[in-house]
């Protein structure tokens, strides 16, 4: 009875996806059929699909997909860990917060694309400058989430730990980390989306590898079908990595009110 209900919900969710994408593709199709724009402006969905299938069938896309995924995962993990550490330090030591928070906000509000050329000058056109850009994009939302989580711990929880004569490590691992998880996960979810954006943007400007490179290559050769296919792959990568975080969240936050059906 219960699994039946769950299954129906999942199928319903998939159905909604199919319906909304189907509608979009149908409108696109009709527009192309009626207006007949040149293929380099807007190819038909079937051409994009063929191009997409070709990307995968020829195996052309895999090294690029792998490069981008690798950058995203590496940058995300480092950025997330740094964000957690910084968030913890800032929330615990007021002085650090007052001292360095302005720089972080400054860095966050500066348009990231503007920083890429600078990173390239500093760190070269290889993996390092790309990963650094991704880290800079992941760091802030994760750190903000961590700080929000820590700051929302009720004061008496700290008093309880004091009464129990808990060690600092126990307080961190058994209470603070767990309490921060809901806010931390919203930061991580923003972070992973930002990580994919960061990787693509960095690849536009440097290197001969990655999905971003496919996009600039297709664009510069007026292969719009391939460009759109590349965008689809990017979106799929984004959805995939986002869902990974979602699954982790569901696993760790099963107790939280937000996870209730």
**Chain residues that interact with other proteins, rule: CB under 8 A:** 154, 156-157, 159-166, 170, 174-175, 178-179, 253, 255-257
Q: Give min distance, CB of 163 to other proteins, in A.
A: 4
Considering the complex, state which of residue 35 and residue 165 has its C-beta at the smaller distance from other proteins: 165
Shortest approach of other proteins to residue 252 CB, angstroms?
9
Residues 6+ apart with CB under 8 A from 166: 174
CB 211 to other proteins: min, Å: 38
> 50 vs 178, which CB is nearer to other proteins?
178
Between CA 135 and CA 147 the distance in angstroms is 18
- DSSP annotation of 43: -
Sequence-ordered list of residues with C-beta below 8 angstroms from that of 252, at least 6 positions apart, any chain:
181, 185
Start-to-end CA span in the chain (Å):
15
Q: Measured from the CB atom, is 46 or 258 closer to other proteins? A: 258
Sequence-separated (6 or more) residues with CB below 8 Å from residue 212 = 68, 199, 200, 201, 202, 203, 204
What is the closest distance, in whole angstroms, from the C-beta atom of residue 44 to other proteins in the complex? Answer: 51
Min dist CB 165 to other proteins, Å, is 7
Scanning 93-163, the segments in alpha helix (DSSP H) are 94-109, 112-123, 127-151, 155-163
Q: Which is nearer to other proteins, 45 or 158 (CB)?
A: 158
Nearer to other proteins, 89 or 161 (CB): 161
CA distance 225 to 218: 8
CA dihedral 4, 254, 14, 77 (to 10 degrees): -150
* Beta carbons of 199 and 210 less than 8 angstroms apart: yes
- Which residue has tokens 């995203």? 72
With respect to other proteins, which residue has the nearer C-beta, 107 or 175? Answer: 175
Least Å distance, CB 224 to other proteins, is 50
């Amino acid at each position: 009875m219960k699994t039946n209900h769950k299954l129906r919900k999942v199928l319903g969710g998939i159905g909604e996806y199919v319906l909304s994408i189907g509608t979009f593709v149908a409108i696109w199709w009709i527009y192309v059929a009626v207006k007949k724009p040149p293929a380099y402006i807007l190819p038909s969905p079937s051409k994009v699909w063929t191009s997409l299938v070709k990307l995968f069938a020829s195996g052309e896309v895999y090294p690029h997909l792998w490069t981008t995924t690798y950058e995203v995962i590496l940058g995300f993990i480092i950025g997330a860990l740094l964000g957690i550490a910084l968030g913890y330090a800032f929330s615990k030591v007021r002085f650090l917060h007052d001292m360095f928070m302005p720089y972080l906000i400054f860095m966050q509000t500066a348009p990231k694309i503007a920083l890429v050329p600078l990173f390239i000058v500093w760190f070269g056109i290889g993996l390092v400058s790309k990963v650094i850009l991704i880290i800079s994009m992941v760091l802030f939302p994760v750190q903000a989430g961590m700080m929000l989580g820590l700051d929302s711990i009720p004061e008496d929880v700290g008093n309880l730990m004091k009464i129990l004569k808990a060690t600092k490590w126990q307080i961190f691992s058994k209470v603070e980390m767990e309490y921060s998880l809901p806010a931390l996960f919203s930061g991580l979810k923003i972070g992973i989306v930002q990580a994919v954006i960061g990787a693509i943007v960095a690849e536009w400007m440097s290197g001969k590898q990655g999905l971003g490179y496919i996009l600039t290559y297709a664009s510069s050769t007026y292969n719009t079908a391939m460009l759109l296919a590349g965008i689809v792959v990017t979106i799929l990568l984004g959805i995939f990595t986002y869902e990974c975080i979602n699954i982790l969240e569901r696993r760790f936050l099963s107790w939280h009110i937000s996870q209730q059906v």
